[in-house]
Structure 1
Amino acid sequence: MTAFEDREKAFENKFAKDQELAFRIAARRNRLLGEWAASLMGLTSEETDAYAKSVVQADFEEAGDEDVVRKLLGDLVSAGIDMDEGRIRQALDDKAVEARRQFMQQG
């Protein structure tokens, strides 16, 4: 292999690793967000676990965060919680920071 091919392969590996890490952080963020919403709704620990998993799954419906925001807003309002999109987006940002911090502490 030439030096150029080695360098290209290294960039490809780094890109793949970065993408995997971004996916894992987003999944962790969504789980934390689901746990936050579940606590607002007063769910049991078993219900919280199932709900957090459903929030992670909701993120696969479409690109971006709109699917997660829509799910949380609908679920929280249906549960009688006074909630708006702005508070959910703030929680999304807060949980993203927390998820990144958790991954940095692991490594």
Structure 2
Amino acid sequence: MTTFDDRERAFETKFARDEEMAFRVIARRNRLLGQWAAAKMGLTPEETDAYAKAVVQADFEEAGDEDVIRKLLGDLTAAGVDTDEAAVRQALEAQTVEARRQLIEAQ
């Protein structure tokens, strides 16, 4: 029975590690998205940092990416930046790849 117990523990450990990595990728992605949007809006470095943190916090409103997309699109539109939902979704995909790359390199 110990080999089955060992396998079960190994699968649980891998699942926990994968979930933690997924959370870290999403948090890093949201920070990068905030920096991307702040650059489009012409914010100062201090404002950029605060805005990136606000984007990370916005992700906790509901499950999925729609809350982040809604925030970015609303803020960019309010700042007078000519953009649409497709551009925000494209940036989301690009920043997901970049966030994953950064985290893998950091290990």
Unaligned runs of 5+ in 1: none
Report runs of 4+ in structure 1 exceeding 3 Å deviation. Answer: none
TM-score by length of 1: 0.98
TM-score by length of 2: 0.98
Please state how far the C-alpha of 1:104 moved relative to its aligned partner: 1.2
What does residue 90 of structure 2 align with? Answer: 90
Alignment deviations for residues 35-58 of structure 1 (CA, whole Å, 9 cap, x no partner): 000000000000000000000000
* Cα distance in 2 for residues equivalent to 1:82 and 1:69: 15
Alignment deviations for residues 59-102 of structure 1 (CA, whole Å, 9 cap, x no partner): 01111000000000000000000110000000000000000110
* Cα distance in 2 for residues equivalent to 1:59 and 1:88: 15
Q: 2:88 is matched by which residue type in structure 1?
A: I
Q: 1:41 is matched by which residue type in structure 2?
A: M
What is the aligned-residue RMSD (CA, Å)? 0.7
What does residue 34 of structure 1 align with? Answer: 34
Identical aligned residues as a percent: 71
How many residues of Structure 1 are paired with residues of Structure 2 in the alignment?
107
